[in-house]
Amino acid sequence: MGNPYKYLNPWIKIFIRTLQLLSVKYITSNIYLFKDKIQKLPHAQAVGTQGEHKAVKFLKKNGYKILQRNYRWKGGEIDIICYDRGTIVFVEVKTRHSDTYGPPELSVTEAKKRQILKVARHYITEKRIEGIDLRFDVVSISHTPIQKYPAITLFKNAFTKNDLTAARI
């Protein structure tokens, strides 16, 4: 492959290179702004993925049929979509390895609930689902260093679409 800038005006090449250098300079000179996010992101993703695996095992053990995992639409995601006794259940999984910020289930904010509801509506429309009850659950997984096994709690009907009527959806 050749140089993608080969046929550009020399001034445009200089402008693009200047922007690249300024971006790198800004990030490196302000690395303290990004340091925590850079270091925590892979760990946070790993914790979340582990939590989702544990939640799937837990849900299957309790009779749920897993329909889909990590359903994404327009920047939103539903961790697990499953079926439980005639009801389609949209599950948000929250995992923590520390009690510092409180229990995991408290981190499901109103904004997150609105996002889940939007993605759920898209899923229902896309799959042409009609006449089936819907439910929104939260699986909370707490596994602090002093615990031998994770504490897994299922909050059925953690929120409903009626809880979010004031939201613009």
State the pairing for strand pair 76-84/151-159.
unpaired
- The β-bridge partners of 89 are 82, 135
CATH class, domain 32-164, is alpha beta
Q: In what order do the strands lie in the sheet with 65-73?
A: 65-73, 76-84, 87-96, 133-142, 151-159
CA dihedral for 29, 33, 39, 45, sign (positive or negative): negative
Per-residue pLDDT of the chain (169 residues; tens, 9 = 90+): 556 555 666 666 676 666 665 555 554 445 445 445 444 557 778 788 899 999 999 999 999 999 999 999 998 999 999 999 999 999 999 999 888 888 999 999 999 999 999 999 999 999 999 999 999 999 999 988 888 889 999 999 999 887 755 444 3
State the pairing for strand pair 65-73/133-142.
unpaired
Please answer whether residues 84 and 129 qualify as being in contact, where contact means their C-beta atoms are separated by less than 8 angstroms: no
Q: CA 151 to CA 131: how far, in whole Å?
A: 35
* pTM to 2 decimal places: 0.72
